[in-house]
Amino acid sequence: MESGSLVFVNPDTELALELSEQVFLDDDDYASRAPASPTTVPNVRPYRPPSTGSNILKSPRARRVRTTSMSQSNKRTTAESILHADRRTIYTAGRPPWYNCTGGQEVEPFLIGICGGSASGKTTVATKIIESLNIPWVTIVSMDSFYKVLNEKQHQAATRNEYNFDHPDAFDMELLITVLQRLKEGKKVEVPIYNYVTHSRENRTKTMYGANVIIFEGILAFYNLEVVKLLDMKVFVDTDADIRLGRRLRRDIVQRGRDLEGVLKQYMTHVKPAYQSYIAPCMAHADIIVPRGGDNKVAIHLIVQHVHKQLQLRGFKVREKLAMAHVGQPVPDSLYVLEDTPQVQGLHTFIRNKDTPRDEFIFYSKRLMRLVIEFALSLLPYSPHTVDTPQGFSYTGRKCDVEKICGVSILRAGETMEQAICDVCKDIRIGKILIQTNQQTDEPELYYLRLPKDIKDYRVVLLDATVATGAAALMAVRVLLDHDVPEHHISLVSLLMAEIGVHSIAYAFPKVKIITSALDPEINEKFYVLPGIGNFGDRYFGTEPSEDE
C-alpha cells in the first residue's frame, strides 16, 4: 500500500487536530522552499485507515487538513515554522525535572511507536526523528531485543531459515511490556541485546534510564494492545514490498550473515505471510502513516513538530515551587545537624568569610567536610563486636552493619567532598551526577550520570557542598530511586543547607537522612543560601562566577 509522497494522518488523533489548526503550505509554496528533494510535491491528507474492526477507526469526526489559500505573509510564517523551527527553544542541553515537588513522577517520557514491515525503514525514520528533534535524552528501544530465547530444536530451525521470527509468539511480550512500563515510569531498565547472526541474546544487556522521548520500533510494535496503550504517538512506515525485499536481501547478506537462498526461503515462508496477517493490520492503530520511510521529510517534520508541542505542554517548574513551599514548618526528624561546637563554629568562620584566601578556604572546608562525613557514618547501624587485644584481653566495641557503601557526588561542588569520604571509607566507589541550573529557566537539568553497577545494593552517601532550594538534591535522589536504591538507604550530606531545601527534601523523601554541619534560615532571589558561603564551587575551584550571578 505504497502511496507516493503523501502523509496520512488519522483524523481522530490530537495530531490531526493540531494540523487542522494550522494552515498548511500549498504545494507551490513547499516546492519553492523545500530542499532539492523530494521532486514530487508532498501534501498532507486526512487518513482513513483500513477497516479491521477496531473501534478507534469508526469516529465520524473526519478532520481535513486544510490546504486553503491565505495571505502571502502568513504562508511564509507557517513555512518558516515548519522548515526552520527553532528546535532549541524547549530544552537547551540537560534533562529538566521529570518529577514534582513531592518527588513523584510528573512528566512521563513521550513514547513514540514505529511499526512497519521488515526493512521498511523504521530504524531510519527513528534516527531521523532523533536528529530533527535535536533534544537530549532520547532513547530507541527495538522490538528485536525481545525475541524469545530459542531451545535447541528452534535454534536448528533458525539456522535452516525455517523458524518463524515474524510471528507474534516469537516475542517475549511480557518482558517487553515490563520494560516499556518501567521506562515510562522513569525507572532504570536492562534491555537484552540481540544478535541476528547467532539468533540469540548476548550475555550483556544495555542499561537504559531517563528519557524525554522514547522511540519504540518493531515489525509488530502495534500488535499487542497493552503496548499500544502505552504509546503516545503511533507511526506506521509503509514501504513498497519489492523495495523492502531488496533492502532485506542486501542487509541480511551483508550484516546478518545470511545467504541469498536462505533469505528468499524465509521471506516466502514467514516474512511475507506474516506481513499480510499480522503487520499490515497494525496500520489500523496508526496516528500517521509514512510512505517511503526516512525519505519522507514532510512526515518527519510533522512528527517532530507534534513531539515538540507535547513536550512544551509538559513543561514543569520545580525550583520556584520549592522556594515557596513548606515555609514555617518544624524541622523534620530526618535532619541531623553536626553539634555546634566552638571548633565547628571556628571552621565556619573561616569558610564564610568572603576575604578568606582560596588556599585557606580549601583547607578549612576540607576539615569541615571530614567532620560532617564522619558524623554521617556514625548514623549508620552498628552492632556490638568483640575483639582480642594484644594483651590477651577482650574488648567489646562496635562494627558497622553496612558492608556496601558508595558515595555519589552532585557535580560540580559535590566533587569537593569526594576526597573526604575516600579518606574514611576504604576502597569506596564513587558515582557522579552532573546537574546544572539552566540560566534561562532557573531549573536544574540532568546532564551526565555515572553510577556504580548494582547501586541498588549499596548505602548511598549523596554529596553536595551546599543545598539551597533542594532542587538539585531532589533530582539526584530521584535518579537514585529510579535506579532502585531504597529511599532509606540514602543519606544526603552537605556542608551547609538552607531550611527551605531541607523541608523540600524531607517532604518529598522522608526516609532520606539529611546531614549537614549548619542550617541557614534563608535563600535570596537567586536561590543562594543566606548568610551562606557564596558560590562554593567557584571559591573552591578558583573559577569566576557566571555573568548572571
Ligand X SMILES: Nc1ccn([C@@H]2O[C@H](COP(=O)(O)O)[C@@H](O)[C@H]2O)c(=O)n1
- Per the CB < 8 A criterion, the answer to whether 169 and 117 are in contact is no
Written as nine digits, the cell of 402 is 553496612
Out of 12, 166, 238, 499, the only residue in the binding site for ligand X (CB under 6 A) is: 166
The grid coordinates listed for 509 are 523523601
Pick the stretch among 73-81, 117-125, 179-187, 496-504 that binds ligand X (CB under 6 A): 117-125
Altogether, the residues listed in the chain come to a count of 549
Site residues for ligand X, window 244-273 (CB under 6 A)?
271
Measured from the CB atom, is 122 or 483 closer to ligand X?
122
Q: Please select the residue that binds ligand X; options are 47, 147, 236, 540, rule is CB under 6 A.
A: 147
- Is 219 a binding residue for ligand X by CB under 6 A? The answer is yes
Say if CB 472 and CB 462 are below 8 A apart.
no
Residue 511 parent element (H or E): none
190-229 mask for ligand ADP (x: CB under 6 A)?
A: ----------------------------------------
Residues 295-314 that bind ligand ADP (CB under 6 A): 295
Report DSSP letters for 395-409, one per residue. Answer: EEEEEES---EEEEE
Using the contact rule CB under 6 A, the part of the chain among 1-9, 114-122, 455-463, 515-523 near ligand ADP is 114-122
Classify strands 496-498 and 466-467 as parallel, antiparallel or unpaired: parallel
Pick one of 119, 135, 490, 533: the residue that binds ligand ADP (CB under 6 A).
119
Q: How far is the CB of 293 from ligand ADP (least distance, A)?
A: 5
What are the start-end ranges of the E strands in 330-428?
335-337, 382-388, 394-400, 405-411
- Return the amino acid letter for 499: E
Member of 49, 96, 109, 121 binding ligand ADP (CB under 6 A): 121
Residue closer to ligand ADP by CB (options 120, 212) is 120
**Nearer of residues 99 and 171 to ligand X, judged by Cβ:** 171
Q: How many Å apart are CA 438 and CA 445, to the nearest integer?
A: 7
447 binds, among ligand X, ligand ADP, none (CB under 5 to 8 A by kind): none
Evaluate whether 286 touches 125 at the Cβ level (below 8 Å). no
Cell of 439: 540560566
Distance of CA 516 to the CA centre of its chain: 30
The span from the CA of 249 to the CA of 266, in Å, is 11
Among 247, 314, 404, 456, binds ligand ADP (CB under 6 A): 247
> Which of these segments, 3-11, 25-33, 114-122, 472-480, binds ligand X (CB under 6 A)?
114-122
CB-based burial, 339-348: b 16+ in 10 Å, e otherwise: eeeeebeebb
Which residue has cell 488523533?
13
Least Cβ distance, residue 8 to ligand X (angstroms): 21
In the bound state with ligand X, the residue whose beta carbon lies nearer, of 23 and 274, is 274
Distance between CA atoms of residues 483 and 177, nearest Å: 19
Beta strand spans in 95-166 (E): 110-116, 138-142
* Nearest distance from C-beta of residue 155 to ligand ADP, angstroms: 22
Q: Pick out residues in 4-23 that bind ligand X (CB under 6 A).
A: none
Give the containing element (helix H, strand E) for 466.
strand 466-467
If one asks whether residue 251 binds ligand ADP (CB under 6 A), the answer comes out as yes
Q: Least CB distance from residue 229 to ligand X, whole Å? A: 22
Q: Cβ 310 to ligand X, closest distance in Å?
A: 26
Nearest distance, CB of residue 144 and ligand X, angstroms: 5
Candidate ranges 26-34, 111-119, 309-317, 366-374; the one touching ligand ADP (CB under 6 A): 111-119
Q: What does DSSP assign to residue 26?
A: P
**Single-letter amino acid, residue 430:** I
Angle 86-89-92 (CA atoms, 0-180°, nearest 5)?
A: 120
For residue 213, the minimal CB distance to ligand ADP (Å) is: 18
Shortest Å, Cβ 236 to ligand X: 13
The span from the CA of 458 to the CA of 405, in Å, is 5
Which amino acid, 438?
N
Stretch of 10-18, 95-103, 115-123, 183-191 contacting ligand X, by CB under 6 A:
115-123
Closest to ligand ADP by CB, 295 vs 320, is 295
* Residues near ligand ADP, by CB under 6 A: 116, 118-124, 247, 251, 293-295
* Residues near ligand X, by CB under 6 A: 118-119, 122, 144, 147, 158, 165-166, 196, 199, 219, 271
